[in-house]
Amino acid sequence: MSNSRYAAIIGWGMAVPQQVVTNEDLARRVNTTDEWIRSRTGISERRVAGPGVFTSTLATAAGREAMERAGVAPSDIDMVIVATCTPDRPFPATACAVQANLGITRAPAFDIAAACSGFVYGMSVATGMIRSGMSRCLLLVAADIFTHLIDWSDRNTCVLFGDGAGAVVLQATEERLGLISTQIGAAGEGETMMAVDAGGTRMPATADLLAQGKQYVYMNGREIFKHAVREMCDSATRVVKEAGLSLRDISLVIPHQANVRIIEAVAKRLELPADRVVINLDRYGNTSSASVPIALYEAVQQGRVKDGDYLLITAFGGGLTWGSSVIRWGRP
Ligand code: ACO
């Protein structure tokens, strides 16, 4: 196989469950208010997957739309990557279910677990696969259903998350498109700052542990907040410089949608005007790995992205993990 220098985004798709849960709905379940949630997080409502909707269900729908938009057939896709930390099952990979659902026969399929940084990690890995010649046309999906790992009686976490999936099709090209520069990082010493304890090999799920609620997400929100602002700013600054650009050259910043105060703090530090920062977490909450591709999708559909534009994506999540990339928009 021949190598290509770049991997252009030629298709994009998204999927969210139908059910909307508003802040008022949550205020009827736990001791919280619409005012607290909106002022502390920026979230007004989120989408929640009902019974029978799995991570692969949303990932398949987003992937199908991205492939249709790209105008590619299942036989054109030679690799499937799903970024998720809420897989259908502990194994096999959710990417295998997505591959089968979409009729993509034989192409390698695997998952990436980088929590909320999953799409940024995924773009780096996918572009690397294309640059190495391992792939020429790749489907990358970021999908998470965090609401199934939430204790709906815990007001610290149940107000934050929503479910969704975003997908892109990447194609090999010699044109300077797609990922121009990227930086991904992790600080594993912070692994228990946000985690789900039960269900893995360290703590297999038992009736006793389930009764203790060990299958649910917990987090130290205040600490994560501080790390998120620092790492997103540092990595964003680095990738813009590596791309040979300045922040003034970036048309649109698409940050992970965890908390509007994190996004505002990053924008303030990087001196970015509000109209160049995409925010849609008011309608979706934190959809984890899916938040960046869903925000990208909406920005594109709203006509906010033009060919030749430089976009900056930046994310932070459990792990701890983070990453930023500069993307040059356009089809070869
Ligand atoms: N309603 C009312 N009060 C609440 C609620 C709620 N839903 N949740 C918490 N509180 C209370 C707390 O109990 C606390 O009360 P206390 O002072 O009496 O103990 C008080 O509000 C303040 O709590 P803080 O944790 O200090 O609130 P903060 O302003 O930090 O906001 C939040 C909390 C929203 C979680 C914020 O810290 C945050 O967004 N952190 C980052 C989250 C994140 O980015 N996660 C990583 C990505 S997710 C991933 O990787 C999948």
Amino acid (one-letter) located at 146: F
- 227 among known catalytic residues: no
On whether residue 1 sits in a domain, the answer given is no
Ligand 1 pocket, 215 CB below 6 A?
no
Same-domain pairing of 145 and 118: yes
Residue in 116, 137, 158, 233 annotated catalytic: 116
CATH of the domain at 223: 3.40.47.10
User: What pLDDT sits at residue 2?
Assistant: 63
- List Cβ neighbours of 329 (8 Å cut-off, separation of 6 or more): 9, 177, 305, 306, 307, 308, 309, 310, 311
Same-domain pairing of 168 and 205: no
On whether residue 119 sits in a domain, the answer given is yes
Rounded Cα distance between 129 and 135, Å, is 6
Ligand 1 pocket, 115 CB below 6 A?
yes
Amino acid (one-letter) located at 65: E
Same-domain pairing of 185 and 315: yes
Please report, to the nearest 10 degrees, the dihedral formed by the alpha carbons of residues 211, 17, 316, 261 taken in order. Answer: -100
Same-domain pairing of 289 and 315: yes
Pick from 32, 41, 101, 29: nearest CA to 221: 41
Pick from 305, 274, 280: nearest CA to 295: 280
Q: Which of 161, 176, 191 is the last residue of a domain?
A: 176
Same-domain pairing of 46 and 191: no
Q: Which of 176, 198, 230 is the last residue of a domain?
A: 176
User: What pLDDT sits at residue 4?
Assistant: 77
Half-sphere exposure of 211 (CA within 13 A, CB side): 3
Same-domain pairing of 94 and 195: no
Partners of 141 in the β-ladder: 82, 167
How many domains does the chain divide into? 2
pLDDT along the chain (332 residues), means of 10: 84 98 97 97 98 97 98 98 97 98 97 98 98 97 97 96 98 97 97 95 94 96 94 98 97 98 97 96 98 98 97 97 98 94
Same-domain pairing of 11 and 103: yes
User: What pLDDT sits at residue 1?
Assistant: 52
Same-domain pairing of 168 and 306: no
Ligand 1 pocket, 326 CB below 6 A?
no
Q: Which of 159, 176, 193 is the last residue of a domain?
A: 176
Same-domain pairing of 66 and 157: yes
Distance (Å) from CA 156 to ligand 1 centroid = 6
Residue 231 belongs to domain spanning? 180-328
